[in-house]
Amino acid sequence: MSSIRVLLEDEYKNWSHHLRLLLQDRSERQGICEVSDGSEDVQEAEELKPDLILPGSGLPKLDEIEAARRIQQLSLNSKIVFLSMSYSPAIVQEALSTGA
């Protein structure tokens, strides 16, 4: 069985660390990479070609919406699932417009 590659992005290291632990507990066949800003996310996504990208919110340097747009332009097969505490319909629509 092949490994699932996951890219976690969040500026809060504690959150991404806990999410990483949760994901690792679910399967021993996952490779997980953590990044803390949007520009690093795009670079790692292009290099690692993860199966799943879990962007957080409030990323420095390049926000998660723009990072997702750039990742989609790279024609990666990665699936993007946004994790956010935002209830703003405008932000939700913007996130969905990236193809996530």
Q: What range does the domain containing 33 cover?
A: 4-96
Q: Does the predicted TM-score (pTM) go above 0.95?
A: no
Q: What is the number of domains present in the chain?
A: 1
- The pLDDT value recorded for residue 36 is 74
- The pLDDT value recorded for residue 10 is 67
- The pLDDT value recorded for residue 11 is 65
| CATH number of the domain encompassing residue 25 | 3.40.50.2300
Compute the half-sphere exposure of residue 17: CA atoms within 13 Å on the CB side of its CA. 3
Q: pLDDT tens digit string along 49-67?
A: 888 888 876 666 778 888 8
- Rg (C-alpha) for the chain, rounded Å, is 13
Of 80 and 23, the one with more pLDDT: 80
Buried b (16+ CB within 10 A) or exposed e, 36-54: bbbebbbebbeebebbbbb
d(CA 94, CA 100): 10
